[in-house]
Chain A
Amino acid sequence: MSFLPPKDREYLEGKGLNYEERDTSGQKAIILHDHLLPDSKFDAIKADVLIMLPPGYPDMAPDMFYLDPWVRLANSNRYPNAADQRHDFDGRNWQRWSRHNKDWRAGVDGIWVMLKRVQNALEVAQ
């Protein structure tokens, strides 16, 4: 059974995104499969994106996000800033992107806002 708020579901389905809801021992998350990364920026073309959803979401903000496989910057062959810690979820080892969310509007924002944040963080990564 879906645990996503209806508006999030509508957004993800409306965009035709390949996503999956995961619930492992009470921790809930969505995984976007084969998310295309910004062109030539990283040593991979695409990655799975993990977004952990806290229990009070969407009143509580989703915080960081995670990639699998781990990616390095193409021009320097190193991990982007604050993206070198591991996070275990669902039997996979994810690259944690410590990007924090101070501007979340509780009760107003939804997954569409988080996806923009992810996209923006990937584009400006250095």
Chain B
Amino acid sequence: MTIFSLTMQQAHAEILTNHLIQPDGKERAAYVLCGLARIKNDPWGRQAHERYCVMDVVPVADNDTISSSPSHITWSTNSFAKVLKQAEANDQVVGIVHNHPEGLAGFSSQDDANEPDLVQMAQNRNGPGTRLISLVLTPEGEFAGRVWRHPTAKGFDNMDLIKIVGNRLKLHYPGRGSGETIAALDRQARAFGGALNGDLRKLRVGIVGCGGTGSAIAMLLVRLGIGQVVLFDNDIVDITNLNRLHGARQSDADAMRPKVDVVARAMTELGLGVRVVPVNAWIGDPECRDALKSCDVVFGCTDDHDGRLFLNRFAYYYLTPVIDIGLGIDPGDETTQKVRSLEGRVTILLPGATCLMCRGAVSPQLAADEAMKRLEPAEYEKRKAEAYVHGTGNPSPAVVTFTTEVACMAVNELVHRLQGFRGEDGAAANRVRKFDLCIDRLPGHKPRPHCAICDTGQDCGRADTTPFLGRVG
């Protein structure tokens, strides 16, 4: 059994909505061109998952439309042949999108009758096995979708989830808003409504780095009612972690337990229904890929530059919001007892937002040094002796109240993007909290011209490609 889902940037959803829903109330059509992420085995459902990521939207022009009314549309297939050709050249999958002005939030019998012909045409042109995606949009902005595999009446599977990602994170799935809230989450439903609880239960969340901030986020997510979590970290609990690692005990340090196992234990002991997959590996390792690709949202709580660079690319290639967290404590001069700076940063990585490299929040040079240390320890020592690498200094200062507060900032950003409690302009792509001054700042950075990650947009939604994420790896 394979499940199917689709992710689209909010900007693309707006182009579609503006084209499809017009004052004349007629049906209209458009195409989407998608990258594909193939997941062999998602870590919770233990089944294959095909995740389509929209790269481009191509509206069907009114002069290509043969006839249309509020209940039907017929358009010339010339434009379909054109997008099929484009998809073949760029290794993409085509989707057709139309609207149902009269509100039907699913496919009509007319759609069922017409679409197999388009599937046949797609397979004739681009080869057997070619998929065709079909999406419908209601006047309320609700999407439903399916994936055709054969040009026969039952040759499709319904989409399990359609996500619109941007300043808001909107989930479309069958039965949204109709689920029961469990008693433990009742007070939260009283604040934010029941739909949020359903969305949180549906979400699959990755936490990369299970230190002070990662473990705090993990515990917050359980109490929010998140349904599925995967933890990535390749480190073990050390006694110096016990001041801030939620769920860790002295005995974990003594037994040299992996952080992911300790945090997974603490999460599941709460008994709130979360399923947790611990992955004891560095995030860039190939064994993490299926689990990472399965995530709807990722919290980047790693303190290594190499891991950050990796997630920076991942967010844009797979249209998966990465909420990157940094904590900076500069203790300043020992004698004055006044810290020089004390701040937490929460940055959202996603098409439309500036990437970490362009914000100067990650150092490719330090990342290269870390990678060399990890992969070629002998060469690293040699270069260090020649003063060609920046030796890693003392352990960074860390205080549980600040690691936990920056975790709250990050999780609240997710809750807002799902639920909207901060209002229209409440999303912050980059928030810096000065703990010593008790203020938040929202520093803006523009993409550097031609940045292949966040400026040109060329690989946004590319999903699977060789090499993975377009990096040597």
Contacts and interface: CB of A to CB of B under 8 A. Distances in A.
Contacts of B467: 2-5
B472 A53 contact: yes
B364 A61 contact: yes
A35 interface: no
Interface stretch (B181-189, B243-251, B446-454): B446-454
A59 B309 contact: yes
Interface residues of A, number: 27
Interface stretch (A40-48, A66-74, A105-113): A105-113
B368 A2 contact: no
Contact of A104 (B306, B309, B364): B364
B214 to A, nearest CB: 21
A60 interface: yes
A3 B473 CA distance: 8
Contacts of B431: none
Contacts of A54: 368, 371-372, 472
Nearest to B370: A56
Contact of B453 (A4, A28, A61, A107): A107
Contact of A57 (B358, B448, B471): B471
B466 A55 contact: no
A59 B471 contact: yes
A59 B367 contact: yes
A57 B472 CA distance: 6
Contacts of B309: 56, 59-60
A89 to B, nearest CB: 10
B357 A106 contact: yes
Nearest to A64: B388
B470 interface: yes
Task: Give the bracket for the number of chain B residues in contact with chain A.
Answer: 20 to 34
Contacts of A2: 466-467
A26 interface: yes
Nearest to B473: A55
Contacts of A91: none
A27 B376 contact: yes
A55 B364 contact: no
Interface string A77-109: 000000000000000000000101000111110
Contacts of A28: 472-473
Q: Would you call the interface of chain A mostly helix, strand, loop, or mixed? A: loop
B367 A60 contact: yes
B355 interface: yes
Contacts of A56: 306, 309-310, 364, 367-368, 371, 471-472
A6 B312 CA distance: 19
Nearest to A21: B472
A105 B471 contact: no
A60 B371 contact: yes
B51 interface: no
A10 to B, nearest CB: 12
Given A59-B357, A59-B367, A108 B450 contact: yes
Given A56-B309, A107-B452, A108-B452, A61 B368 contact: yes
Contact of B470 (A1, A5, A26): A5
A57 B368 CA distance: 9
Nearest to B452: A107
Nearest to B467: A3
B352 interface: no
A63 B365 CA distance: 10
A28 B468 CA distance: 14
A55 B313 contact: no
B472 A4 contact: yes
Given A5-B470, A54-B472, A55-B473, A107 B355 contact: yes
B375 interface: yes
Nearest to A30: B472
Contacts of B371: 54-56, 60
Interface string B429-456: 0000000000000000000101111000
Given A4-B472, A28-B473, A59-B364, 16 more contacts: A3-B467, A7-B452, A55-B284, A55-B306, A55-B471, A56-B310, A56-B367, A56-B472, A59-B313, A59-B357, A59-B367, A61-B365, A105-B450, A106-B364, A107-B451, A108-B451
Interface of A: 1-7, 26-28, 53-61, 63, 98, 100, 104-108
13 contacts: A2-B466, A2-B467, A4-B467, A5-B471, A27-B375, A27-B376, A28-B473, A55-B306, A55-B473, A104-B364, A106-B364, A107-B452, A108-B448
Report, nearest first, the 6 A-B pairs whose CB atoms are least far apart: A60-B368, A57-B472, A106-B364, A53-B472, A3-B467, A107-B451
